[in-house]
Each structure stands twice: as C-alpha cells, then as structure tokens.
Amino acid sequence: EEEMEEDVEGWHQLYPGHIPTSPLQKALLAAGSAVMALYDPYRHDMVAVLGETTGCLALPNLRDKMKNHPEGYRILRERPCIRLSTLDMARLQGLPDGTLGREYVRFLENNKVSPDTRMPPKFVDDEELAYVIQRYREVHDLMHTLLGMPTNMLGEVVVKWFEAIQTGLPMCVLGAAFGPVRLSTRKLQVLATELVPWAIRSGLSASCVLNVYYEQRWEQPVESLREELGIFPPP
C-alpha cells in the first residue's frame, strides 16, 4: 500500500491520512463534491472535500494572516485541537452563563453536535495548510456560538455568508449562495433583509476569526469577544 502511495507522480504522504491527488483528480473531486453538497448541505463529508480541493488560493492567504498576527502565529506553532478529548467539559459547563465556554457547550448540547464529527483533512498538499483548514473546521461551531446562530438551514446559511467573507473559501461562497434554495419564502425574506446584510457587515468588519486562541478564552463573555473581533450584535 505504501508503495502505491509513493506512485502518484512521485508524490508521498505529507501527514497521516493525506491522499496525494493530481490537479485533474482535484477538479473531479471538487465538481462531484459540489454537486453533492448543493444537493444535500448536511453532507459534511462532501462539503469538506469541496473545501480542500478548491481552497488552494484562500488557504495560503489565511495562513499568512495567522503568521502575521501574534495570537494566530502561536496557534500555528502550538497546533491546538478542539476535540472532546482535549475539552474539559465539566469545567466548561461550570462557567457562568454568557461566557464563551458555557455558551459553546450549550450550543453543542442544544444542537446535538460534537466537535469530533469534523473530518480530518485528506487532499491538501501542504501539511501546514492542512492544519489551517482543520482549524477552520474546528472553530466552525464557535462561529455559530459567536454569531448566535442555530444549526438549522437558516443558521448555517448565515454562518456560511460570514465565513465566505472572512475566509474567501469557495465552498463557503457556494454554501452562502445556494444554501437558501431550500428555505421558505418567509425565511428567505428574513435572510435577505436582516440576516445576510448583518453577516456580511460583520464578516467585513471583524478581524480574522482564526487568530483567536479560543481555548484560552473560555472565560471571556461572548459579547466582549464579539466586540473585540468587530462582530455586530445579532439582529
């Protein structure tokens, strides 16, 4: 098996789980995963593949933003991971209401999601950029917490608009553009008149959300972190 991995045009595995792919293979994976992700936005595996195969311009840009920021640089150097194994859930549950840690755990519980369901990267041909997209995935639930958005279709679309503006990742742009096709007229109206304009304004005004060492901010009130980042209060 290892010999086979070495065979793809003399490429090799750059990190555990890495699958070397040619540009054509990436294009085919991107097209296939885009169709599947648009058909069913809850296919997180397809959304993940799309993010990795189309992020070649956005990911280096995000990494540079992290490198040029003291907190972001520390994250790149120390490579923290947000997993159930690294979270002290009991401590987070014991934090006061309104703190990032308490609201994050509340978000996980209310929406029955777990940070462990995020897929590890496979198709990014650079070990450091693979960490950047992994980190982006891990802080996605924290974006929901910061933006006060549930994991329903409406909430996901709003978060994707914010992330699209923030990261420039094509999959976020696609999710933002095509996510709303399944919403009712009433929800579309709320989305178009209130939520999307707020998400875009916040995405433009906020500093890079990957430059926050969230693990060291659990005690910080969500409102103060919003203010610090430049995210406007949710409508």
**Which pLDDT belongs to residue 10?**
55
Residue appearing with tokens 């994050």: 104
Mean pLDDT throughout 179-185? 82
**Which pLDDT belongs to residue 128?**
95
Mean pLDDT throughout 208-223? 98
Residue pair 199/231 in contact (Cβ under 8 Å)? The answer is no
Long-range contacts, 115-118 (Cβ 8 Å, 24+): 115/82, 115/83, 115/84, 115/87, 115/141, 116/83, 116/84, 117/44, 118/44, 118/48
Residue 83 reports pLDDT greater than 70: yes
Higher local confidence (pLDDT), 47 or 145: 145
Mean pLDDT throughout 41-70? 83
Mean pLDDT throughout 10-36? 80
Please give the model's pTM, rounded to 2 decimal places.
0.84
Residue 21 reports pLDDT greater than 80: yes
Residue 214 reports pLDDT greater than 90: yes
**What's the pLDDT band for 38 if we cut at 50, 70, 90?**
low
**Which pLDDT belongs to residue 4?**
45
Q: How many residues comprise the chain?
A: 235
Mean pLDDT throughout 89-100? 97
Among the residue ranges 22-36, 57-71, 180-194, 221-235, the one predicted with the least confidence is: 22-36
- Which DSSP category does 122 fall into? -
Mean pLDDT throughout 41-63? 78
Calpha distance 182→142 (Å, rounded)? 24
Token code pair at residue 228: 């610090």
Residue pair 91/212 in contact (Cβ under 8 Å)? The answer is no
SS3 track for 172-223: HHHHHHHHHHHCCHHHHHHHHHHHHHHHHHHHHHCCCHHHCCHHHCCCCEHH
* pLDDT (tens digit per residue) in 100-148: 999 999 999 999 999 998 888 988 889 999 999 999 999 999 999 999 9
Q: What is the average pLDDT value for the chain, to the nearest integer? A: 88
**What's the pLDDT band for 1 if we cut at 50, 70, 90?**
very low
